[in-house]
Structures are given as C-alpha cells and as structure tokens.
Amino acid sequence: MLGTAIAESVIQHYGVSQLLSRLSDPFWFQALGCVMGMDWHSSGITTSVLGALKRGLNPRTKELGVYVCGGRGKHSRTTPHELAAYSDMTGLAGGALIRASRLTAKIDNNAIADGFQLYLHTFVISSSGEWAVIQQGMNGPRRLARRYHWHSPAVRDFTCKPHTAIVGEHQGEIMNLVDPLAKFAQGALMGMARERPETTLREVRRLKLSAHHDVRAENIDLKRLGAVLALAYERDLRDFASFLLLEKLGPRTLQSLALIAEVIHGAPSRFSDPARFSFALGGKDGHPFPVPLRIYDESLSVLRRGLDGAKLPGNDRSEALRRLDSFVRTIETHSKPTADFPAILSHEHAISPALDGRTVVNDRPRKGMPVRATQLSLF
C-alpha cells in the first residue's frame, strides 16, 4: 500500500520519531491523504489514512518499530487492550500509555465544549514509547468534523498546552476549559468538585481547511505545482528526472513521484497547500480527477523497489526520491513556472480512461487508448 511505503520511507530516512512528528502536523497529514488518493477535503481522509496505516504497519511492527492502536467507533475502544499487548511485547509502561490514551480522549471530548463528539481515536506508538494521537469529532447537525493532533514530546503536562493542533471550521465562541482565559471557570469547577480537574487551561491553535467539495485554484500554490508539471512534461527535465530515479518512467508517473517525494522529504513549510498533493493520484471522490490506477500501481512499484534496494550495500535507490525532490525545488526557484489550473484539470480528465481512472462510485475498469505525453501550458 502506498501509505505504508511512504511511512516506511520516512522511517528509513528520518526515523520513527519524525514519522510521529509529521502525523501530528495537520497539514502534512492532509498532504499524505491527498497523495494517497483520498478525498482531499473530507473527514473521511482521517479514517482512510489511519486505517490504511494500521493495516500496513502493524504486521511489520518488529521491523519498523511503530504500532497503530484504535480507530473509528468500536475500534477506538480496543485501544487500551492493544496498548497493553504492545507494552507486554516491548517492555513499555502500559499503564502510563493507557492513561495517556484516556486523557487525550477525555480532554478533546469533554474539556472542549465545541459541539463535536469524538468518534475516532488512534494512538500511534513507537517501540521507545514515543506516541502521537489523532482524534476526530463530529458535529452531527452541521455535518462538520474536527480533528485533534497530539505528540508526546509536546505534552510536558496534560494540563498545559497538550495539543500540536486542532483543525476545523470556525464555530464561534465555545466553552473551552483548556484555554488560558478560563482560569476563573476552572477555579469554580475545582471548588464544586473539591478536587483538581484533569485538565487545565490553555490556548488551542486552530487551523482552518477549506469546506468546499471540489479542488480549486485558490487552494493550491500554482508555482509549486507548475514546477512538478514542468518536470513531468518538459522532455529534457523529464529525461534527467528519470535518470535521477534510475528508471524509464513516463511523464504522468514522474508527476506522481515528485509529489510523493515531497511528502517524504519536504520541510514543514511545504505543506501549507495540502490540496496540491491530490494532483499526484487524484481522489477517490473524483476530485480533482479519478484515481489513475495504472499510475498508482507504477508509483508504488517504484517506491517499493527503492525501499527494498536500500537494504543492499552500495545501492543508491533510497536516495533517488530525495534527489528528485531537490531537483523539483531547483526548477521552482530558477524557472518559476505557474500552472494553468483549468488546463491541468482538462488534461487529467481527458487521460483518465486510459489510466484506468476510478472513483468510489465508479470502480469498474475503463478501457482506453495508451496515454501519450502531452505538453501542458505551464506559464
């Protein structure tokens, strides 16, 4: 699976701690979902990404040093049992981890009265005991979701600034018992309960993601996307990019791999426009275009061969995506191409049948002519 291969590549190059740090970054998490072909804007991206990572990483936990617990609905309630089992296997302090899991859920579900009730709780743990928590709540009447991110190194005290981020649409004023301005209210609650509450006051950083269904030009840094397209469709650049990867790849696969490479190797500042990464492999809802299964399979195959090759002495395949990412940034800096957004969408929809484009509502194979490299208008 692509998500598993990306996570493995991050671990290989940067370590498990960096993977947990990235999962606690809402923009990187959104970019990961987009590059995996999920619905870029919807609450379903959280469930899909975490479910895929759990299925792909857990069977290899001894090799990779990371384990995914919990999930959506009834699966969230299995988290304590899964943490206890993992702790028995690794020698970690299971009681402390179970307490952390319960506290994160209690804080987000009860201490922040924002109208969102948790329905997803995922606890990602490393063999060293470092963890990240991703939770999601739903406001049924408004049909909106809110996602909560945690990372254990940032939690010095559960009563002080525990989150790395909370992401959702602005809902107006709420009762927030983890806001620094709620000190008086906390004091009143302490007096009423005659004991110190588990949560104190802090300010929550709120990050806003777009609510509309389709992918629009304003959601994307068109210069960054233009550099990726220039790499894919300018022959000299394409030939050199294929050389960097040690592969003979078509332009559409290079486009996907360039965006996958950025998810693996990009700095945090590169993920301010996560919708851009949906141009790697589309979206299962058809936005911005159907998932091209031929390109998905070929991109995964290239990534998988690179991961396997990295285990062999003298093999430089593991560095190929890093070099590709650096090459795209060089194009962006010196050429500064700007993508023609309508032309990109038109092109992707035109070639979709030949690439076996699929959506969740149309998952039947499509027949089409072989794809030919087409020059896009980039400037």
- Render 93-146 in DSSP notation, one character per residue: -HHHHHHHHHHHHHIIIIIEESS-EEEEEEEEEETTS-EEEEEEEEETTTTEEE
Asked if residues 23 and 124 have their Cβ atoms less than 8 Å apart, the reply is yes
Amino acid identity for residue 133 in this structure: V
Look at residue 376 in the predicted model and tell me its pLDDT.
40
d(CA 127, CA 129): 6
Can you give the residue ranges of every domain in the chain? 42-207, 217-358
Backbone φ, ψ for residue 117 (5° rounding)? -105, 130
The rounded percent of the chain whose pLDDT value lies above 90 is 49
**Per-residue pLDDT tens over the stretch 270-291:** 998 999 999 999 998 888 999 9
**Per-residue pLDDT tens over the stretch 136-181:** 998 877 778 889 999 999 988 776 678 898 887 766 555 555 554 5
For residue 26, is the peptide bond before it cis, meaning its omega torsion is within 30 degrees of 0? no
**Per-residue pLDDT tens over the stretch 93-109:** 999 999 999 999 988 88
Amino acid identity for residue 293 in this structure: L
Average pLDDT, the chain: 83
Look at residue 374 in the predicted model and tell me its pLDDT.
41
Helix (H, G, I), strand (E, B) or coil at 198: coil
Extended strands (E) in 193-307? 206-207, 291-292
CB neighbours of 300 closer than 8 A, spacing ≥ 6?
Answer: 1, 2, 5
Judged against a pLDDT cut of 80, whether residue 303 lies above it is answered with yes
Distance of CA 86 to the CA centre of its chain: 24
**Dihedral of CA 176/180/185/189: which sign?**
positive
Amino acid identity for residue 270 in this structure: R
Mean pLDDT, residues 216-225: 86
Judged against a pLDDT cut of 90, whether residue 69 lies above it is answered with yes
Task: For residue 266, give Cα distances in angstroms to 262, 270, 330.
Answer: 5, 6, 13
Mean pLDDT, residues 348-352: 93
Place of tokens 């072909």: 37
The rounded percent of the chain whose pLDDT value lies above 70 is 79
- Region class of 83: left (phi > 0), else alpha (psi between -120 and 50), else beta: alpha
**Per-residue pLDDT tens over the stretch 1-39:** 899 999 999 999 999 999 999 999 999 999 999 999 887
Residue 293: pLDDT band with limits 50, 70, 90: very high
**Per-residue pLDDT tens over the stretch 179-204:** 545 555 545 444 434 444 343 333 33
HSE-CB of 37 using CA atoms within 13 angstroms: 24
- Region class of 65: left (phi > 0), else alpha (psi between -120 and 50), else beta: left
Asked if residues 277 and 299 have their Cβ atoms less than 8 Å apart, the reply is no
Amino acid identity for residue 120 in this structure: L
Look at residue 338 in the predicted model and tell me its pLDDT.
83
Asked if residues 164 and 25 have their Cβ atoms less than 8 Å apart, the reply is yes
The order of strands in the sheet holding 131-139 is 66-72, 117-126, 131-139, 144-151, 163-167, 206-207
Look at residue 211 in the predicted model and tell me its pLDDT.
61
Mean pLDDT, residues 328-350: 87
Nearest residue to 262 via CA among 249, 250, 279 = 279
Which of these ranges, 36-50, 229-243, 247-261, 283-297, has the smallest mean pLDDT?
36-50
Judged against a pLDDT cut of 80, whether residue 317 lies above it is answered with no
The most confident of 113-117, 205-209, 211-215, by mean pLDDT: 113-117
Total count of residues recorded for the chain: 379
Place of tokens 């809902």: 171
Asked if residues 113 and 176 have their Cβ atoms less than 8 Å apart, the reply is yes
